[in-house]
Amino acid sequence: MAIAERTKAYPRPSLHRASQLVYRNALAYKHYWIAFISGFFEPVFYLVAVGFGVGQFVGGVPFGGGQLDYASFLAPGMLAASTLNGALFDGFFSPFFKLNWMRTYDGIITTPVNISDIAVGEVAWALIRGTIYGAGFLIVMLVFGLIHSPWALLALPAVMLSSGALSAGAMILTGITKQISSLEKVMTLVVFPLFLFSGTFFPVSLYPGYLRPIVQATPLYHSASLLRALTTGAVGWATLWHVVYLVVMFVLASALAIRLMRRRLIS
């Protein structure tokens, strides 16, 4: 296929058209807003039960050349987990059912909104949801006295970046998951390990040496590490590396998500 023909057949995404999908999702959630806020509370419960409960028996946690109380260490990890919740709900679960069961996208692509717009719009909506969760959790951290540095002013932009990267990754899962029976496998083999073993609950330094590079390659590790550095003030060159990782993931995962959605909707 010639370049001109390929461009015409697969037009680039438009922010204006993608925003129409975001608007549609916002209208849809007016009718079941409880589902929108439900994902916010899980990380808060973990923070209260584990951070302040179990944390009384943990003592100090080594971080940034010093010691952190366990709740202060755990809270940024749960902040990253809250962005993951938003990414999963609206970057994976909701698009999965729209694509495979409700056939919502089959109708949408008969309008001026094309497949690329759908992928970008869903990532943008998941980013918005993850950012709302993250902003709410930051308020919880502030109330509990778990923010220890003025660098935390950059935590909300970091939450947006994390939400974007994780949402784009979630859309990749949407593009490759075809059977509802696969949802349990995705949760068991991808989401739960990501949540539990990405430096969210304990330092990566406690892992055996051969496992650390694997953990440090996960996006939630970089999200949690970036947010932990900003909220505790342990900012250094490694913090910039976390930013670069998440930016690159967002760009590459978004491009791959668009490609996979095209394949699913055209085939």
> How far is residue 59's CA from residue 69's CA, in Å, rounded to a whole number?
6
Tens-binned pLDDT, residue by residue, of the chain (267 aa): 433 433 344 567 888 899 989 998 888 877 766 666 666 788 888 888 888 888 788 878 877 777 889 999 999 999 999 899 888 888 888 889 888 888 888 888 888 888 899 999 999 999 998 888 889 899 999 999 999 999 999 999 999 999 999 999 999 999 898 888 788 888 888 888 888 889 899 888 888 888 899 999 999 999 999 999 999 999 999 899 999 999 999 999 999 999 999 888 886
Beta-carbon-side half-sphere exposure of residue 207 (alpha carbons within 13 Å)? 17
> How far is residue 169's CA from residue 182's CA, in Å, rounded to a whole number?
17
Q: Range of 234's domain?
A: 10-266
Is the whole-model pTM more than 0.75?
yes
**CB atoms inside a 10 Å sphere around CB 193:** 14
Sequence-separated (6 or more) residues with CB below 8 Å from residue 123 = 91, 164, 167, 168, 171, 254, 257
CA distances from 22 to 121, 166, 266 (A): 6, 17, 22
Please calculate the CA angle 241-46-150 and round it to the nearest 5 degrees. Answer: 45
What pLDDT, on the 0 to 100 scale, is given for residue 4? 40
Q: Is residue 234 part of a domain?
A: yes
CA dihedral 72, 75, 80, 85 (to 10 degrees): 170
Cβ(65)–Cβ(113) below 8 Å: no
> How far is residue 28's CA from residue 32's CA, in Å, rounded to a whole number?
7
**Burial class of 110 by CB neighbour count within 10 A (0 to 12, 13 to 18, 19+):** exposed
Q: Is residue 4 part of a domain?
A: no
Q: Is residue 3 part of a domain?
A: no
> How far is residue 100's CA from residue 177's CA, in Å, rounded to a whole number?
9
Q: Two tokens at 143?
A: 């109330």
> How far is residue 249's CA from residue 5's CA, in Å, rounded to a whole number?
29
Question: For the chain, what is the domain count?
Answer: 1
Alpha helices in 144-189 (DSSP H): 155-176, 182-186
What pLDDT, on the 0 to 100 scale, is given for residue 209? 85
Tell me the residue type at 62.
Answer: P
Q: Measuring CA to CA, which residue among 126, 156, 108 is closest to residue 22?
A: 126
What pLDDT, on the 0 to 100 scale, is given for residue 36? 61
Q: Is residue 197 part of a domain?
A: yes
Q: Is residue 1 part of a domain?
A: no
